[in-house]
């Protein structure tokens, strides 16, 4: 996608990530928590809904199948600035060329009989010598752990199965501190200087619905959240916290609380700042209507350059741009279906500049699109003058 200038938000750790991770690493962020006073329920007036329409399609990557470059219900995606990384229900981790869809290196998860991963994150991790290296954090959901792999370097001309370098594995089955039932996503916070990992956030569900926080050495620090659907800031109830995003500028953690059909804003220490959406509202929300944003199983949240977020609605077969501070919906994209630009149980989306990669899971493909008002928080913004 061409060389791009580093945004100010990344300059402090660009030397760690190198040319392999030029963009798309908004997850690896430094900064302290800016805790706002009070907790607000955000159900602001939504924009007049636009007529539902298929996504504008730039190109489509992949198709149903088990050969490299094909997908069998993909459920996890991230972008390292050059390549997409996609994991499907064949337990394959594939390096995908975002222009052609061709696969580079790939491997299978070490265990797969009990289930397949539901989340993958590109972010720095401690290498064998203690220095930071680009890495893939895989939420190995049904094996109750997070596996951290060194990010492979070059993309080969032909698909090649490899044995990846495992940097770390942490977590085990259980409900005690530092254990997981079903982990779903990982977010990484660098220290203020960008020289080390300060915190690692891991979301999980399965009756143990919470977010656990670890230090850079994978030692448990604290957790927040319990199973439920209430609004009490003292209880912090979740029902399948499926995905997270860190807003560095505001010092906030945005959590997609999937089965409660809402987003939560939290300080980086886990204090609730506000909810967007309402429990039980997703099934009847449609593309708009009613007071406040209506989400239908939000499964992914991607931070944009203006601190709004792009939400992937698994149940609604659409994407939605949302202001997490006001609760206002700023645009709805996509409709359900099998045709061009239509979506079936989309699991996630990642944004690089003005380009959005939508993981159209039920259609076994990645849809590449540009959406009005959707501009990522990474390198593409600096090049295009978007902030």
Phi, psi of 217 (to 5 degrees): -95, 15
Q: Which of 48, 121, 56 is nearest to 331 (CA)?
A: 48
Q: Is the dihedral of CA 263, 38, 176, 137 positive or negative?
A: positive
Q: Which of 278, 202, 350, 357 is nearest to 46 (CA)?
A: 278
Instruction: Quote the percentage of the chain above a pLDDT of 70.
Output: 81
User: What average pLDDT is seen over the chain?
Assistant: 84
Instruction: Give 278's pLDDT tier (boundaries 50, 70, 90).
Output: confident
Q: Averaging pLDDT over each range in 226-235, 274-283, 373-382, which range is the top one?
A: 226-235
**Pairing of β 182-190 and β 197-205:** antiparallel
Q: What is the pLDDT of residue 292?
A: 61
For every residue of 266-308, DSSP letters joined together read EETTS-EEEEEE-TT-GGG-TTS-SSS---SSEEEEEEBTTS-
Q: Domain coordinates of the chain in residue numbers?
A: 8-384
pLDDT tens by residue, 21-40 = 333 333 333 333 333 334 44
pLDDT (average), residues 39-49: 43
By mean pLDDT, which of 8-17, 56-65, 90-99, 164-173 is the weakest? Answer: 8-17
Q: What is the pLDDT of residue 319?
A: 97
Q: What is the pLDDT of residue 9?
A: 32
In the DSSP assignment, the letter for residue 205 is E
Higher pLDDT, 11 or 230: 230
pLDDT tens by residue, 81-136 = 999 999 999 999 999 999 999 999 999 999 999 999 999 999 999 988 889 999 99
pLDDT above 70: residue 181? yes
CATH fit for domain 8-384, picks 2.120.10.30, 1.10.10.10, 1.20.1340.10, 2.40.160.10: 2.120.10.30
What Å distances lie between residue 22 and 5, 80, 132, CA to CA? Answer: 8, 7, 15
Q: What is the pLDDT of residue 6?
A: 31
Residue 62 to residue 163: CA distance in whole angstroms: 23
What Å distances lie between residue 88 and 31, 127, 153, 315, CA to CA? Answer: 33, 26, 21, 19
Distance of CA 197 to the CA centre of its chain: 18
Higher pLDDT, 50 or 31: 50
């Amino acid at each position: 996608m061409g060389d791009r200038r580093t945004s100010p938000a990344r300059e402090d750790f660009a030397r760690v990530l190198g040319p392999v991770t030029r963009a798309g690493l908004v997850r690896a962020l430094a900064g302290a928590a800016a805790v706002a006073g009070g907790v607000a329920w955000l159900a602001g007036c939504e924009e007049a809904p636009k007529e539902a329409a298929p996504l504008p399609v730039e190109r489509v990557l992949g198709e149903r199948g088990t050969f490299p470059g094909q997908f069998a219900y993909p459920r996890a995606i991230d972008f390292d600035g050059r390549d997409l990384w996609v994991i499907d229900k064949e337990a394959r981790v594939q390096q995908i060329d975002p222009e052609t869809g061709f696969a580079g290196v790939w491997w299978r998860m070490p265990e797969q009989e009990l289930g397949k991963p539901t989340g993958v994150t590109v972010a720095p991790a401690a290498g064998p010598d203690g220095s930071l290296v680009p890495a893939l954090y895989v939420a190995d959901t049904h094996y109750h752990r997070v596996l951290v792999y060194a990010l492979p370097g070059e993309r080969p001309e032909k698909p090649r199965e490899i044995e990846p370098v495992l940097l770390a594995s942490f977590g085990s089955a259980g409900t005690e501190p530092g254990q997981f039932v079903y982990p779903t996503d990982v977010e990484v916070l660098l220290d203020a200087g960008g020289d080390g990992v300060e915190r690692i956030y891991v979301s999980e569900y399965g009756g143990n619905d919470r977010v656990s926080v670890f230090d850079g050495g994978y030692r448990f620090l604290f957790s927040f959240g319990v199973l439920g659907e209430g609004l009490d800031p003292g209880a912090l109830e979740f029902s399948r916290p499926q995905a997270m995003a860190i807003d560095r500028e505001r010092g906030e953690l945005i959590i997609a609380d999937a089965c409660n059909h809402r987003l939560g804003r939290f300080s980086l220490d886990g204090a609730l700042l506000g909810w967007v959406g309402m429990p039980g509202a997703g099934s009847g929300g449609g593309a708009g209507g009613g007071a406040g944003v209506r989400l239908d199983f939000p499964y992914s949240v991607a931070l944009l350059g203006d601190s709004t977020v792009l939400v992937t609605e698994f149940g609604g077969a659409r994407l939605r741009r949302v202001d997490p501070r006001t609760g206002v919906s700023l645009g709805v994209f996509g409709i359900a279906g099998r045709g061009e630009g239509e979506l079936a149980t989309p699991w996630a989306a990642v944004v690089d500049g003005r380009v959005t990669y939508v993981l159209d899971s039920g259609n076994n493909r990645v849809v590449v699109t540009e959406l009005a008002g959707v501009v990522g928080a990474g390198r593409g913004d600096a090049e295009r003058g978007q902030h």
